[in-house]
Copies of this chain bind each other. A is one copy, B any other.
Amino acid sequence: MEDMRKPIPVEEAISRVWERRPNGATDDIPITDVDNRRLSDDIFASHSVPSFPKSPYDGFALRSADTTEAGRNHSVSFKVVEHIGAGELPQKQLHEGEATRIMTGAKIPDGADCIAMFEICQTYTDNGQSYMSMTRTMESGQNIIEEGSEVAKGDLLIPRGTMINPGVKAVLATFGYSDVKVSRKPVVGIIATGTELLDVDEDLEPGKIRNSNAYMIASQIKRVGADYRYFGKLEDNLEESYDMVSKALAEVDMLITTGGVSVGDFDFMPAIYDKLEADVLFNKVAMRPGSVTTAAVSGDTLLYGLSGNPSACYVGFELFVRPILQHQLASQKPFLKRIKAVLGTDFPKPNPFTRFVRSYITYHNGSVHALPSGIDKSNVVTSLANADALTVLPGGTRGFKNGDDVEVLLLDDREGQREF
């Protein structure tokens, strides 16, 4: 009846699943669909930027040599020989005393070596011919954005594994990536266990609770950028349950069960691992919540037995499942970003196990504070709803005080870090 499992440290547990991480695949998709996907290849500049010398302003292109005589009391005049908009190409080469009216972003005409902004130019017409005069001298290269001054052809622009945000998408469009190679979404199977579970649309019955874990995990899977497949609830029967798990394993990249992993008489996930001849990587972790988390490998497929307790299930996913999915999705920083913060409350009781406290981050005058999102009993249910971080309280013989320096793991961060 007693639990003879030996808890291992969190770092050791993460390292054991990490060693069995599968690699991901690649999809080729149109640029319209790339939001929030991760690049599976490095993105290089297919051309220099700008790809031609261009004007940063609306103004006149001219030869700086023609302005040497200009001064407060001496204006120099130019014959306006052409008028080009952005996207139009200059047709005429400039000669001495000639200027081209030019719009922002347009290509500099041959012969010109500077741009005078409209603001310093006077325009006039004489006999139907346009002229421009100015009283300032210009330097060669002034107000010209040189070809390749922003990006050289072949430059690495965005590294593999980056999640595509609006700025990344702009870069992809600029360089003509109409189709983009992104990491394929792994498909994660979900199976709920527990005879006490009602479906979300069922009326509450005495002794029962609704199945919230399956919905929560589906959402956690989607937050990482993967897809899920829900196989339903396990039957209360070892043989049928075994069949369901082995069938699911064959159809997904990874399988998660929730519940059925503690030492209760009705928890038979351990028997299923045995029957599958799965390699159990760990079945107890020195952490709160989530100490009864199990990870196993069947064939090449990772099989997680997360706790039936919602908070333990949530934390188990974020610590042990998320980094593996991020790796399959080509992220080069697959682990939750860990930053320092100031603890906003007391945790007077020591705990031998490392605690991961559901928390939210606030900022005060440039410093980061972490406050538990479920500190009051009345918040137990909503503590996961408000959490955007997990505060890490290392196990040991002391408690923690308001104002202590602690580390927090950021849940909504999209960048991550290389190591746990």
**Interface of A toward B, CB cutoff 8 Å:** 1-2, 31-32, 35, 45, 47, 49-52, 58, 83, 85-90, 101, 103-107, 118-119, 121, 123, 149-152, 155, 157-158, 162, 164-178, 194-197, 200-204, 206-220, 222-223, 262-266, 308, 310, 314, 339-342, 358, 363, 365-368, 377-378, 380-388, 405, 412-415
Contacts and interface: CB of A to CB of B under 8 A. Distances in A.
B86 A173 contact: no
Contacts of A264: 58, 85-86, 103-104
Nearest to A34: B219
B366 A341 contact: yes
Contacts of A173: 200, 210-212, 214-216
A380 B213 CA distance: 45
The binding surface of chain A is classed by DSSP as loop
A342 B366 CA distance: 7
Nearest to A1: B118
State the 5 A-B residue pairs at the shortest beta-carbon distance, nearest first.
A87-B196, A167-B384, A166-B219, A170-B216, A178-B201
A378 B151 contact: yes
Contacts of A162: 385
Contacts of A386: 167
A166 B206 contact: no
Contacts of A219: 35, 164-166, 169-170
Contacts of A176: 200-204, 210
Contacts of A216: 166-167, 169-170, 173
Chain B CB within 10 A, most for which of A1, A151, A173, A341 = A173
Given A32-B218, A266-B85, A368-B367, A167 B197 contact: no
Given A86-B266, A212-B173, A385 B167 contact: yes
